[in-house]
Amino acid sequence: MPSRERLQALRYNLIPDHLIGEILTKRWTDNAIPFLVLVAVIALFGTAIPGFFNPFSLQESTRQLGEFAIVVIGLTVVMLGGGIDLSVGSIFALATFASVGSFFILGLPVWAAFLAALATGALFGAINGYLVGFLRLRAFLTTLVTFIIGRAVFDILVVQFGAAIQMSFASSDAWDFIGDGTFAGLSVPVIAAGLLALVTHVTLTRARIGWHILAVGGSRRSAHNAGIKVRRTVFLTYVFSGLCSGAAGFLIACRLSGAGPGTGAGLEILALTAAVVGGNALGGGRGSVVKGLMGAVIVLVMTNGLIRLGYGTGTNQMVLGIMLAVAVTIDIRWLKNRHKVLNEVYVAPVYLKMGEPQSAEPHSGTPYALNNRLAAAEHIGLGELEGPEDVILDADDHLYCGTRHGEIVRYFAPDYTRSEVFAHVGGFPLGLAFDRDGNLISCVGAMGLYKIAPDRTVTRLSAETRRSLTSVQDDARLRDPNDLDIAPDGRIYFTDSTKRYDAHDWTLDSIENRGTGRLLVYDPRDGSTKTLLDGYRYTNGVCMAHDGKSLYFAESWACRIHRYWLEGPKAGTAECVIKDMPGYTDNINRASDGTYWMAWLGMRTPSFDLSLRHPAMRKRMTRRLPQDDWLFPNINTGGIVKFDDSGRILQTFGDLTGENHPMVTSMREHKGELFIGGILNNRIGRYRIEGADPEWTGMRAYWGTRA
């Protein structure tokens, strides 16, 4: 091996490039930038301001932070629902006045002052919510106007009652404690903000209403179509924001024991900047309470820091303006380009040197030499079918196959011209097998393992396995269940081809060529699913050996067949039986003479084999070329191979014309005939096998005469 190639092998097989793409798919990566800014801001001002970290100073600044954070949490929830609330400053001021007025002028107890603040916030929020939610006005402008109205009302109230408040002698220990006291070193606003953040976070991520809010923010129309009461949900977000601002207003009322013209001034742009700088998306659907909190800390540390460092009037506005503009621009650009970045970096090819295959050229004299026998196959369902990946026949000779539309179609014996939709499963039903009781079990691409009873009821058997400890991406989910077979004891062995790509992106997996395919077993006795083997390059067909003591499975992109032992001295281990085949291996099924049929979904080409030794080239290809120009495995020619338990190749069948069965993904022998499926074909082939047992059926071979 030349050293250049050795270097490439080391570089692409040892450095886990694929993790970058997987990490980028995580929603929490959005938090990375705000978090770095947070650390930088605190470090900067913490060192520039003497005594920044001393406990008393922290206690005082966090008191203000608590109030501010409560307002930001409310605004965050509104933004998650796709709206915006600029009136928070007015609500805050009015609520402050409500509690101060109740306490000092009316002489009400503290709890009544608190309720007055909450009621003010809820009422104001309800007005906003009605206008924006039910009347569907534009949120920004509407809350801007209600903000001015609220401010005008507040100014009038302060002028009228300001003197009366200052003259009052009302006092209360509870009021003072909320304003000045601490509990275990924490001030009341900080505790309140912490509790609110926790409750809001849990509600947003776990509760029904939280999901509704995120759904409405993510896509209003889809949420409506899904039956969510969009208008009411939007309404509630504004009420919540009003309540938050109300509570914050009460806290500052206790702290300052008064309300003046400056109360809540400029709060709207502070809160908005905080929410956006923290990484909450404008327009909704993406964001979290944590983001809001990070933004609140950044903005408050920054603005207070600038004041404490003695910068003059206006510096704050300047910095806030820049922060808002930069944060919004980054947010918009990131949202717009995120999927492009992800597309660019997700495919991370690895190095593989395939072994030299024996030729499959016609008349080459090798056991693999292709011929034109399949050109003689008759067709079933020509033009009616789309994507019969696997086919199977039941005890009454009826023929079943899955389709691209998520259906299982049944063709009636004996001539297979009439058909019906046997069951609608969804996804893309791939591998099929009958169990002892005549239930049809299917590996449904993108969904999982499903059972269709003879009365057509569809039951999900398994959609997940145990997550592996080192996985970045959730690999518990079955992304591409491909084929299955059933052991004599009823356990279902099946493959999940890749952890990295969804079922319809299987071609991308072939270009990446990373070994993430698995062999799993589902146990019907306790409903558990276990991963038996992992790390194969696209595990595909599965077939029980005739004696039921081992099974064969195909590893498509490596062009190999492995044998996995269920019992005997090698139980639980796998060994490679056939390697370096000239075609990409697919489904395997039993043949009547004690051997096995195996499909080739396509043939290897020297060019693609070479490209597998050049991962850098494939990486460049996926980044720079449109997908139509990519080099893919050849799937325009396939075939069928027959092999025996010793791994010897007995026969091959091909369609050199490329007209009937260019690609083959499955074949079933039944009463002397071979039924042929292909995932990209529009027909099922029917081929009479010379010398085959005309009475042999798969059902009897598996489950005896009883079935």
Is residue 33 close enough to count as binding other proteins by CB under 8 A?
A: no
As a whole number of angstroms, the distance between CA 71 and CA 166 comes to 26
Helix (H, G, I), strand (E, B) or coil at 424: strand
Q: Which of 91, 251, 320, 352 binds other proteins (CB under 8 A)?
A: 320
Segment contacting other proteins by CB under 8 A, of 8-16, 133-141, 202-210, 570-578: 133-141
User: Which amino acid, residue 309?
Assistant: L
Q: Which tokens is 606 given?
A: 């020297």
As a whole number of angstroms, the distance between CA 245 and CA 143 comes to 14
Round to the nearest angstrom and report the end-to-end CA distance of the chain: 55
Closest CA to 601 of 387, 347, 405: 387
As a whole number of angstroms, the distance between CA 598 and CA 584 comes to 10
- E-strand spans in 159-284? 182-183, 186-187
Q: Which tokens is 268 given?
A: 């709207």
Is residue 257 close enough to count as binding other proteins by CB under 8 A?
A: no
Segment contacting other proteins by CB under 8 A, of 143-151, 177-185, 382-390, 523-531: 143-151
As a whole number of angstroms, the distance between CA 246 and CA 263 comes to 13
Between 208 and 336, CB nearer to other proteins: 336
Segment contacting other proteins by CB under 8 A, of 136-144, 166-174, 377-385, 694-702: 136-144
Residues 205-244, one symbol each (x = binds other proteins by CB under 8 A, - = not), give --------------xxx--x--------------------
Q: Is the dihedral of CA 177, 181, 183, 188 positive or negative?
A: positive
Between 8 and 316, CB nearer to other proteins: 316
Residues 335-364, one symbol each (x = binds other proteins by CB under 8 A, - = not), give -x----------------------------
Q: Which of 153, 395, 472, 649 binds other proteins (CB under 8 A)?
A: 153
Between 144 and 707, CB nearer to other proteins: 144
Query: Which residues sit opposite 485 in a β-bridge?
Result: 493
Neighbours of 117 (CB within 10 A): 32
Residues 275-314, one symbol each (x = binds other proteins by CB under 8 A, - = not), give -x----xxxx--------------------------xxxx
Between 10 and 325, CB nearer to other proteins: 325
Helix residue ranges, H only, 53-138 = 55-80, 88-100, 110-129
Contacts of 656 (CB under 8 A, 6+ apart): 362, 370, 371, 372, 375, 637
Q: State in angstroms the smallest separation of the CB of 307 from other proteins.
A: 12
Is residue 442 close enough to count as binding other proteins by CB under 8 A?
A: no
Q: State in angstroms the smallest separation of the CB of 84 from other proteins.
A: 5
Is residue 269 close enough to count as binding other proteins by CB under 8 A?
A: yes
Q: Which of 8, 120, 316, 611 binds other proteins (CB under 8 A)?
A: 316
Q: Which of 19, 149, 382, 625 binds other proteins (CB under 8 A)?
A: 149
Is residue 317 close enough to count as binding other proteins by CB under 8 A?
A: yes
Q: Which tokens is 41 given?
A: 């801001």
Q: State in angstroms the smallest separation of the CB of 34 from other proteins.
A: 17
Q: State in angstroms the smallest separation of the CB of 426 from other proteins.
A: 27
Q: Which residue is listed with tokens 């005997």? A: 568
Q: State in angstroms the smallest separation of the CB of 287 from other proteins.
A: 12
Q: Which of 9, 328, 533, 680 binds other proteins (CB under 8 A)?
A: 328
Is residue 418 close enough to count as binding other proteins by CB under 8 A?
A: no
Helix (H, G, I), strand (E, B) or coil at 546: coil
Between 165 and 272, CB nearer to other proteins: 272
Q: State in angstroms the smallest separation of the CB of 291 from other proteins.
A: 17
Contacts of 437 (CB under 8 A, 6+ apart): none
Q: Which of 40, 309, 325, 342 binds other proteins (CB under 8 A)?
A: 325
Contact of 78 with 146, CB cutoff 8 Å: no
Size of the site for other proteins (CB under 8 A): 54
Q: State in angstroms the smallest separation of the CB of 268 from other proteins.
A: 9
As a whole number of angstroms, the distance between CA 164 and CA 327 comes to 44
User: Which amino acid, residue 350?
Assistant: V
As a whole number of angstroms, the distance between CA 619 and CA 606 comes to 19
Between 132 and 503, CB nearer to other proteins: 132
E strand or H helix at 39, and its extent?
helix 32-48
As a whole number of angstroms, the distance between CA 41 and CA 361 comes to 68
Between 10 and 135, CB nearer to other proteins: 135
Q: Which tokens is 509 given?
A: 């997996």
Q: Which of 31, 64, 315, 531 binds other proteins (CB under 8 A)?
A: 315
Interior angle at CA 451, CA 591 and CA 517, nearest 5: 65
Contacts of 600 (CB under 8 A, 6+ apart): 581, 583, 584, 585, 586, 638, 639, 640, 641, 664
Between 328 and 369, CB nearer to other proteins: 328
Q: State in angstroms the smallest separation of the CB of 208 from other proteins.
A: 22
Between 92 and 675, CB nearer to other proteins: 92
Between 26 and 138, CB nearer to other proteins: 138
Contact of 418 with 433, CB cutoff 8 Å: no
Q: Which of 171, 329, 636, 657 binds other proteins (CB under 8 A)?
A: 329
CA dihedral 599, 602, 607, 611 (to 10 degrees): -80
Q: Is the dihedral of CA 582, 588, 590, 591 positive or negative?
A: negative
Segment contacting other proteins by CB under 8 A, of 76-84, 114-122, 379-387, 468-476: 76-84
Helix residue ranges, H only, 514-580 = none
Contact of 165 with 281, CB cutoff 8 Å: no
Segment contacting other proteins by CB under 8 A, of 115-123, 144-152, 352-360, 686-694: 144-152
Between 331 and 480, CB nearer to other proteins: 331
Query: Which residues sit opposite 533 in a β-bridge?
Result: 519
Between 107 and 261, CB nearer to other proteins: 261
Segment contacting other proteins by CB under 8 A, of 141-149, 521-529, 536-544, 699-707: 141-149
Q: Which of 7, 39, 40, 332 binds other proteins (CB under 8 A)?
A: 332
- E-strand spans in 579-677? 583-590, 596-603, 639-643, 649-654, 666-670, 673-677
> Which residues of the chain form contacts with other proteins (CB under 8 A)?
82-84, 131, 135-142, 144-146, 148-149, 151-153, 155-156, 159, 219-221, 224, 265, 269, 272, 276, 281-284, 311-322, 324-325, 328-329, 332-333, 336
